[in-house]
Amino acid sequence: MEGKVLIIGAGAAGSVVAKKCAMNREVFKEIHLASRTLSKCEAVQKDCATPIEISQVDADNVPELVALINKVKPDIVINMALPYQDLPIMDACLETGVHYMDTANYEPRDVAKFEYSWQWAYQDKFKEKGLMAVLGCGFDPGVTNIYCAYAQEKLFDEIHTIDIIDCNDGDHGKSFATNFNPEINIREVTQRGKYWKDGQWIEIDPLSINCMIDYPEVGPRKSYLIYHEEEESLVQNIKGLKQIRFWMTFSDNYIKHLDVLQSVGMTRIDPVVHNGVEIIPIEFLKTLLPAPSSLAEDYTGKTSIGCIIEGVKDGKTKRHIIYNVCDHAATNKEVGAQAVSYTTGVPAMTGAMMMIKGLWTGAGVFNVEQLPPVPFLEEVAKQGLPFTVRELTVEEQKELGSVDIHFIQSMLAAR
């Protein structure tokens, strides 16, 4: 590959991808950033360490995308647009013969549903054209998947349980704001939760199960069991897996606001008529909330994200934690972004680097845990996201291990 990339999406995370690519010109020879809103691209362009090109494009419009790709002639399209737009961008890549990468799986606008089936269905199309599509190369999904692949390759003979733990212990000073696109964030949190155990998916009411998890460099924080897309692919690709769960922290203040917004219908994704005009409440709400890219300047605190993995090595049961801690103030100083945007954008840039260097190759559709983990983790550490691997003692994370018991007991008590 020649090192030419087209980045579609100039939001909080997309701007990080562009700025980090511009810091690595030995790999990224030509960088082009496109968005529906050209002014967003112009703002990012001014802040890049080296020159980049920009364009306006509607990522829902395949002919527009095809025209732009044919003009730019990139090796890879890095999709940092909304998950709704994954399929049009994949279609445009197929038509133009260009490799594809994204950070979040496709979901339809009218259903809050995360599922890889729509993108996995492109397997034969990409394979027949000799093209590579890499799915979910942010942090979670993304780095967390690669932590699991690393554990499978280096730490265990067989993995039995995975708990993905995600804590944002930062403070942006706003009464209510989301750290990434409000539509996607709220849809993700308010849908029914589920986790995978003993060969089946177990559904739960939204935010109905929580426990205290001790996050590295942050400490114990209340964490909620939700569904997250990487669980679906890891179930397919981690051998011997018996259980996988995803946990995320939400402050009491966030939960309070979310409850109120839900109760008055502001999180609805179906159209309603207001003064004779059809609107979608959650899209209107998005216009009222602070843009994630606006939060960076006054953000304090850290993110702490990783995987707690249990399995067998040389006939003995082992538990390891693999994690990264990222500081909001440090990422703002480097690229003018808060840590949630940084931890999404840096892995996407690193994944593209793996493809350009020929360290990730193949034809078809791939989730990141199917690709070599070591070169990626070595490079992403150099780019600002180092990771720590540590064996856990029996006493550590005891409450997390006993959540099922608590759940069963509560169910029995309710009968």
Asked if 94 and 80 count as a contact pair (C-beta separation under 8 A), the reply is: no
Asked if 75 and 99 count as a contact pair (C-beta separation under 8 A), the reply is: yes
Residue whose entry in the numeric block shows the structure tokens 């929580």: 210
CATH fourth-level superfamily of 143-334+386-414:
Dihydrodipicolinate Reductase; domain 2 (3.30.360.10)
Asked which of 59-73, 225-239, 398-412 is least confident by mean pLDDT, the reply is: 398-412
Give residue 403's pLDDT.
Answer: 80
Give residue 178's pLDDT.
Answer: 65
Share of the chain above pLDDT 70, in %: 92
The CATH number fitting domain 4-139+337-382, selected from 3.40.50.300, 3.60.110.10, 3.30.413.10, 3.40.50.720: 3.40.50.720
Residue ranges covered by each domain of the chain: 4-139+337-382, 143-334+386-414
Give residue 168's pLDDT.
Answer: 93
Q: Mean per-residue pLDDT for 151-161? A: 98
Q: Mean per-residue pLDDT for 174-191? A: 68
Give residue 242's pLDDT.
Answer: 97
Question: What stretch of H or E contains 269?
Answer: none
Q: Which of 168, 167, 237 is nearest to 196 (CA)?
A: 237
Summarize pLDDT for 188-238 with one digit per residue, the tens.
Answer: 777 788 999 999 999 998 888 999 999 999 999 999 999 999 999 999 999
Per-residue burial over 160-178, b if 16 or more Cβ lie within 10 Å, else e, is bbbbbbbbbbbebeeebbb
Comparing 133 with 177, the larger pLDDT belongs to: 133
Give residue 412's pLDDT.
Answer: 43
Q: Encoding tokens for residue 260?
A: 């109120």
Summarize pLDDT for 287-298 with one digit per residue, the tens.
Answer: 877 776 676 677
Q: Mean per-residue pLDDT for 106-135? A: 90
* CA atoms of 154 and 313, how far apart (whole Å): 10
Comparing 235 with 401, the larger pLDDT belongs to: 235
Q: Mean per-residue pLDDT for 30-40? A: 97
Q: Mean per-residue pLDDT for 63-69? A: 98
Q: Encoding tokens for residue 60?
A: 């829902």
On the question of pLDDT at 170 being above 80, the answer is no
Summarize pLDDT for 256-280 with one digit per residue, the tens.
Answer: 777 778 777 877 878 888 888 888 8
* CA atoms of 352 and 358, how far apart (whole Å): 10
Q: Encoding tokens for residue 27?
A: 């790999």
Give residue 52's pLDDT.
Answer: 98
Give residue 409's pLDDT.
Answer: 46
Asked if 91 and 61 count as a contact pair (C-beta separation under 8 A), the reply is: no
Give residue 347's pLDDT.
Answer: 98
DSSP 265-295: TTT--S-EEETTEEE-HHHHHHHHSPPGGGS
Summarize pLDDT for 4-16 with one digit per residue, the tens.
Answer: 999 999 999 999 9
Q: Which of 49, 400, 69, 355 is nearest to 210 (CA)?
A: 400
On the question of pLDDT at 414 being above 70, the answer is no
Give residue 394's pLDDT.
Answer: 85
* CA atoms of 63 and 262, how far apart (whole Å): 37
Per-residue confidence band for 182, with pLDDT thresholds at 50, 70 and 90: low
* CA atoms of 296 and 333, how far apart (whole Å): 9
pTM for the predicted model, two decimal places? 0.91
Give residue 410's pLDDT.
Answer: 59
On the question of pLDDT at 124 being above 80, the answer is yes
Which DSSP symbol is given to 270? S
Average pLDDT score over the chain:
91
Asked which of 115-129, 264-278, 301-315, 362-376 is least confident by mean pLDDT, the reply is: 264-278
